[in-house]
């Protein structure tokens, strides 16, 4: 998509392309509430656990489930057959990365800033929006120029 956020309808991309491990925007909203509760109780370890594993009965909202969504949908193969579907999948994953950056910002601000940068978002401006305003689905605009990808956690010695 030429280094840009795919031109997908955010509302359509809010729902998973295929039923399975990941719950899309609804799952992220549920995760937001779980992460808020963990931070309010000053249990950063619980917040990070929720971000990684998800919340709810089916736990379809965490980073592990987003990764499974990539495995299930195989966008790099699907692009040969259905570029529009891949646009929706990649939009939903990029927007999710924006949410995950917000979720980890209180305990890993440097990593959150790197995620924002790779999404082509100026960190200070994004963070100035505040938790409640920023954590609404569709904050990442289609056609927005993405930043340079780089490992968030480089291997020791690199």
pLDDT at 58: 67
Distance CA 59, CA 30 (A): 10
Rounded to the nearest integer, the mean pLDDT of the chain is: 92
Q: Is 18 or 96 the better-scoring residue by pLDDT?
A: 96
Q: Give the model's pLDDT for residue 63.
A: 92
The predicted structure's pLDDT at residue 158: 62
Considering all CA atoms of the chain, what is the largest pairwise distance in Å, rounded to the nearest integer? 47
Per-residue confidence (pLDDT) for residue 16, from 0 to 100: 87
Predicted local distance difference test score (pLDDT) of residue 155: 81
Cβ pair 150, 8 in contact under 8 A? no
Residue 1 has pLDDT above 70, yes or no: yes
């Amino acid at each position: 998509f030429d280094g840009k956020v795919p031109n997908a309808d955010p509302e359509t991309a809010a729902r998973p392309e295929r039923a399975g491990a990941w719950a899309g925007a609804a799952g992220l909203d549920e995760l937001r509430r779980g992460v808020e509760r963990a931070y309010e109780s000053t249990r950063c370890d619980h917040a990070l656990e929720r971000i990684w594993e998800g919340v709810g009965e089916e736990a379809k909202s965490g980073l592990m489930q987003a990764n499974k969504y990539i495995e299930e949908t195989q966008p790099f193969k699907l692009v040969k057959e259905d570029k529009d579907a891949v646009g929706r999948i990649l939009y939903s994953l990029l927007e999710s990365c924006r949410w995950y950056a917000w979720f980890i910002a209180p305990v890993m601000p440097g990593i959150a800033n790197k995620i924002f940068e790779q999404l082509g978002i100026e960190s200070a401006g994004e963070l100035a929006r505040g938790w409640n305003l920023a954590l609404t689905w569709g904050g990442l605009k289609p056609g927005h120029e993405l930043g340079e990808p780089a490992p968030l956690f480089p291997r020791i010695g690199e």
